[in-house]
Structure 1
Amino acid sequence: MPDILIKNGLLVTAEDSFEGDLLIADGVIARLGEAITRPGAHVIDAGGMIVMPGGVDAHTHLNLTVGKNKVCDGFYEGSAAAAFGGTTCVVEHPAFGPDGCGLLHQVRAYQKEAAGACVVDFGIHGVFQHVSEQILDDIETLMAHGVSSAKIYLTYAGRLTDEQILSVLARAKTAGVLAAFHAENHAIIDFLCRRFIAEGKHSPKYHALSRPPYCEAEAVYRIIALAEAVGDVPVYIVHLSTQAGLEIIESARDRGLPVVAEVCPQHLLLEDACYVTPDHKGLQYIMAPPARKAADRAALWQGLSRGSIDVVATDHCSFSFADKLAQGKDDFSRCPGGVPGVETRLALLFSEGVLPGRISLNRFVDVVSTAPARLMGLFPQKGNLAPGADADVVILDPNLEKTITPDILRQNADYSPFEGRRVRGWPVVTIVRGRVVVQQEALLVEKGWGQYIRRKRAVLHRPNQGGTHAK
């Protein structure tokens, strides 16, 4: 690969911003500074643009199959969409595997399928769907396979009991594996769904009503209590959606407990009025947890700004609107859940976060790149503009405006939950390990360019946001 010299950009990290040049050689960042020259290098003029470490999306379902339903991407189209959106590394959450399978079964299956398809780098989470002595022993093998995190569900068929969670957390603490949690109370969801269906309440708005804010808050509190019982074991709450859940997390962090949290653009930007969109389009927004109220959105933005929310990920899960309509038109509970978003994460957060002053430019880089790299055991290889780091670099044009429609996106999904939103600031160049993957709206690498990344132990890092969690 030729050397690449990026000239005249605003280089932005989680800690600093400065105008200068960036030199890439042999797939890594070689130098940052002013007036760098390199004969024979491919020069990219980034004048007026932001140069930042490539995005790390810690929560994707690019290749998910649930029953008869499969998302419409697969690893190739999903990773291409990620690249067009400025994400250079994803960490994929697998579906549940066959009954009784070992903890590495899904990791190996997904790694094999992704290896020949992804155009960006990738890691894979483990997933718990039952617990046995063998599964507990398998936790030790995750780290040996480069898997430093694994997911526990408090709802769905593969949910764990409190007793099982305690046993998993005790072993995860010893092994150095970060436990990630889907925090919703299954019994409440099941009870309310059955009630609504029995009452003939089948429309999408009852999806949100069947998963009320206290359903998440209870689960968040219980997870933290279980972790506190084990003692000094970190837990990661995925797709946080409520003010109530955030307040519980902030209280725990103020007591010194190692709790980290993730939020998704859909919970920062959407409200539950979306579920009454005409023409059955409310089905497009069926996801778990659902869109919430304006007060929840405001609280999540504040938590992101002050550092009590660590990461912005997507929970990208692109069941098509056609499938949602076919299965959920007459019953919200049958609609496949999930929304696409891997391609729009950086643009939305820049436009809706940085430009209005909700978060700083450095904080933006932290939550979309550096913090997820640390927590996923990818730093300093990923999420880092520094000599020796992988040359995963994104150039973002802060003045480029687009209106989101499926037609302007690379994604394979037939809709976007953000359709019609005018956004300013888009990635225009994406580089992965020193190779230009996307430029001038073209994909420039072959299928399978992405590599499996063996991840290390999570690094819990709290940014200094200059304040406490006081409201």
Structure 2
Amino acid sequence: MKKIITNGTIVTAADQYEADILIEDGKIAAIGERLTADGAEIVDAKGAYIFPGGIDPHTHLEMPFGGTVTVDDFETGTTAAAFGGTTTVIDFCLTNKGEPLKNAIKTWHDKSRDKAVIDYSFHLMIGEVNEQVLEEIPLVIEEEGITSFKVFMAYKNVFQADDETLFRTLLFAKEHGALVMVHAENGDVIEHLVKEALDSGKTDPIYHALTRPPEVEGEATHRAAQLTGLADSQLYVVHVSCAEAMEKIADARKKGYRIYGETCPQYLVLDQTALEKPDFEGAKYVWSPPLREKWNQEELWKGLANGQLHTLGSDQCSFNFKGQKELGRGDFTKIPNGGPMIEDRFSILYSEGVEKGRISLNQFVDIVSTKIAKLFGLFPQKGTIAVGSDADLVIFDPTAERVISAETHHMAVDYNAFEGMTIKGEPVSVLSRGEFVIRDKAFVGKPGAGKYLKRKRFADVSNSAKKRVTFQQ
């Protein structure tokens, strides 16, 4: 059905203006003043901002880890995302060494089919590089439209890949137009520090943070950046948690390297004292990289404002406190790593960023949607409000206030990491390809309505690349 959204203020990464939006066949058909269309439903957005739908580039839905599985699947996770203003998620598809990549992709298609209420895509983990993997990757790009590949530098003996695997992945990505993503922590050093802690009887949740200090994140970020420069490739550093890692990204970009940094809402508003909460409550805040000392928060905000960091992902990875996080009582290494962030990413960035003067409205849109769409091959289909783009829209009330709570959130998990936090501004209605998923703060969507997105190959969005090594693999 045709729709005309009227009386709202349209905000993109570049502009802010008042106009009507005509939606036809899931697309934005026209933008202008006093638009009309026979049979169109009129949606009054008076007093509201109209944003492009948020894109969450970092989720782990129904993901196995540490002998258990995240409690939010593609139905509950994407429903919560939609309530929070997100209309597209990109989930991480985990692979097993020795198995064809297509097997892992099939598993993720099976998990998501008929469940997602908004559009979605996949990143693919690369844990090893051999002839089989090298033969499959071009097919993955061409047939599945998966154009981003993740390499873990941490989780020794589980996900961690060696430097040769990272470097060869970077070379291959350069050749085939893909973006390499990296979890940047020195897994070998962490393994040693963890063993020392356990041998000394240090088993509480706080030791998760103390055995993964900022230095191991900074070192790994620097190493990955140097390898990226050597390969003349492109790198996206996920979940940057501290000033030390951010500075390594900034230094590399000054050299012209194509490197981009993502941070997450938890690192912007929480700090490592949360892991010291009594009665094992600190386990709720165990994820990797860990929360840092509070002073890092303002440095990360400055990084978002000045372009040293580029995007905000949720790193959604929800485990119940009861029965899952509790697996680590008496041994912090057995606490499943991850937290529930997908629903509050959008609003926390607005409330703590725009409302407090740390970033502008246009920067907000760029960080939460547009830059992500450009980096991951979705622009201009997603990430902006323009004629011909998908009608993924958020009608947002900037004056509304709410208190975040597990009692009112829409995730399946039994706690909220931001419990009790008051934020200003919230989505009122959310449209995915022109259809309401959330209307007047009520869910009206349908599981399975979300479409799998095949993405375009990587295109540099910084225009700052400097030619480095020119040899081919």
TM over 0.5: yes
Which residue does the alignment assign to 1:180? 181
Where do 1:308-347 residues align within 5 Å?
308-347=308-347
- In the TM superposition, structure 1's runs of 4+ consecutive aligned residues that sit over 4 Å from their partners are none
Which residue does the alignment assign to 1:365? 365
Amino acid at match of 2:297: R
SS of aligned partner of 1:321? coil
> Would you say how many aligned residue pairs link Structure 1 and Structure 2?
461
Amino acid at match of 2:259: V
Which residue does the alignment assign to 2:10? 11
Which residue does the alignment assign to 1:106? 104
Q: What's the CA shift for 1:158? A: 2.4
- Taking the aligned partners of 2:75 and 2:340, their CA distance within structure 1 comes to 15
Amino acid at match of 1:318: S
Amino acid at match of 1:4: K
Q: Cα deviations across residues 204-234 of structure 1 (Å, max 9, x unaligned)?
A: 111100100000000001101111221x200
2:251 aligned with 1:255, yes or no? no
Q: What's the CA shift for 1:37? A: 2.2
- Taking the aligned partners of 2:332 and 2:272, their CA distance within structure 1 comes to 14
Amino acid at match of 2:120: F
SS of aligned partner of 2:323? helix
SS of aligned partner of 2:146? coil
Q: What's the CA shift for 1:96? A: 3.5
Q: What's the CA shift for 1:112? A: 2.9
TM value normalised by structure 1: 0.96
Which residue does the alignment assign to 2:468? none
Where do 1:445-464 residues align within 5 Å?
445-462=445-462
Where do 1:221-260 residues align within 5 Å?
221-230=222-231, 232-260=232-260
Q: Cα deviations across residues 287-310 of structure 1 (Å, max 9, x unaligned)?
A: 000111122111110010011111
Gaps of 5+ in 2: 465-473
Amino acid at match of 1:418: F
Q: What's the CA shift for 1:366? A: 0.5
Residue pair 2:177, 2:459 contacting (<8 A) in 1 also: no
Which residue does the alignment assign to 1:140? 138
Which residue does the alignment assign to 1:115? 113
Identity of aligned residues (%): 39
- Taking the aligned partners of 1:158 and 1:339, their CA distance within structure 2 comes to 19
Q: What's the CA shift for 1:463? A: 10
Over aligned residues, Cα RMSD in angstroms? 1.4
SS of aligned partner of 2:93? coil
Q: Cα deviations across residues 181-212 of structure 1 (Å, max 9, x unaligned)?
A: 00000011111111111111111111100100
Gaps of 5+ in 1: 465-471
Residue pair 1:150, 1:178 contacting (<8 A) in 2 also: yes
Where do 1:368-383 residues align within 5 Å?
368-383=368-383
- Taking the aligned partners of 1:227 and 1:60, their CA distance within structure 2 comes to 24
Amino acid at match of 1:352: E
Residue pair 2:258, 2:462 contacting (<8 A) in 1 also: no
TM value normalised by structure 2: 0.95
Residue pair 1:127, 1:152 contacting (<8 A) in 2 also: yes
Where do 1:24-423 residues align within 5 Å?
24-97=23-96, 99-144=97-142, 145-156=144-155, 157-230=158-231, 232-423=232-423
Q: What's the CA shift for 1:32? A: 1.2
Residue pair 2:283, 2:326 contacting (<8 A) in 1 also: no
Change (3 A) 1:177 1:346: same
Q: What's the CA shift for 1:138? A: 1.7
- Taking the aligned partners of 1:450 and 1:130, their CA distance within structure 2 comes to 31
Which residue does the alignment assign to 2:469? none
- Taking the aligned partners of 1:216 and 1:102, their CA distance within structure 2 comes to 30
SS of aligned partner of 2:180? strand
Q: What's the CA shift for 1:39? A: 3.3
- Taking the aligned partners of 2:10 and 2:369, their CA distance within structure 1 comes to 14
